[in-house]
Amino acid sequence: MIAEPTAFERYRSSANGKMTLPRLIFGTVVILLIWTLSTFAAVRVGWGFVALVPASLRPDGYGMEAFLTSPIGVLTALLSFCGIWAGAWLVMRGVHREPLSALFGNGQRISRSGFLKGFVAVILTSVFSEVLLFLLDPVIQRGSIRLGVWLLALVPVALLGFVQTSAEELLFRGYLPRGLARRFRSPVVWALLPTLVFTALHWSGGSAPAMNAAGLISIGVFAAVLMMLVYSTGNLGAAFGAHLGNNLFGFLLISHQASLSSFALFEARSLEGAGWAGIDAVLIAGIGIVSSLLTALLLLHPRSPLRVAPDLG
């Protein structure tokens, strides 16, 4: 595999003089505040629409937990990530005096080829990891969603899934690394710190400690690969596509999380459930690591047909 430091060097250097550390911290706080407010607003709106949506999208029970795990609740949660986009736009324009598109890449636009290659690569490696998970635990069943409803939900779920994944990439692989790299040369600061924060946000308190650790390790390695893609290309396109492919595979095809299985055609044994042994957690973490490394190989190896190109502006 190869990396193109020139691409990220141009990406880092493109930030203007107003991308200072105090402004970056203030901007991050503003983005998180707007994200929090948008989450409350989205949940309030979604809750108000429960009685108006088809019965197949409504919660099975009462209370917030039942709502958030229902189809309408999942859509609401995805919609809440609009807050990151809104916050990033406000901060880039008002605090740093730059266009939002400056975060996309050196060419100030999302690489279409990078996006498509990232999406395809992750779909391929997701199929690979799914085969290994099936060999580990061959329990899979048809999801509760009807095929007609699933077909109707494809477009809205895909669009809202893009909102969610692209918002996370914009913040954790764009705004924070670019701003930190403007001030600090060490990747321990600009790459590792946002990756650790992103990984920690996926903490699952309801999971067994071993399975929670396995999940965090898998997510952390995948996040590191996404950061590597941005470093190699100077563009968020490949990371956008890879992240979207990863999440849509779990949202729409085979879900391993009971709380996010509302739109999945098939459901496997929940990784958050009980009954997993310690060796299972080790193997699942290993599958996640291998899958992420294969994704990096597909997108960065010079002989790969899916190799992404650097954006030099």
Give pLDDT, residue 74.
85
Give pLDDT, residue 52.
63
Average pLDDT over residues 215-233: 96
Give pLDDT, residue 68.
73
Half-sphere exposure of 238 (CA within 13 A, CB side): 27
**pLDDT tens string 169-213:** 999 999 999 999 999 989 999 999 999 999 999 888 777 888 889
Half-sphere exposure of 63 (CA within 13 A, CB side): 3
Give pLDDT, residue 198.
96
Give the confidence band of 33 by pLDDT, cuts at 50, 70, 90: very high
| % of the chain residues with pLDDT over 70 | 93
- Residues in the chain, total: 313
Q: Quote the tokens at residue 74.
A: 């999942």
Give the C-alpha separation, 126 to 245, whole Å.
9
**Amino acid residing at 303:** R
Give the C-alpha separation, 214 to 115, whole Å.
28
Instruction: Please state the domain extents for the chain.
Output: 5-300
**Amino acid residing at 73:** G
| Single pTM value for the model | 0.93
pLDDT value at 106 more than 90? yes
Half-sphere exposure of 230 (CA within 13 A, CB side): 31
Average pLDDT over residues 153-170: 95
Give pLDDT, residue 159.
96
Bridge partner list, 235: 105
The residue among 264 and 2 whose pLDDT is bigger is 264
- Angle, helix 278-300 to helix 209-233, in steps of 10 degrees: 10
**pLDDT tens string 81-102:** 999 999 999 999 999 999 999 9
Please provide the average confidence, as pLDDT, over all residues in the chain: 90
- Helix, strand, coil percentages, rounded to 5, for the chain: 70, 5, 25
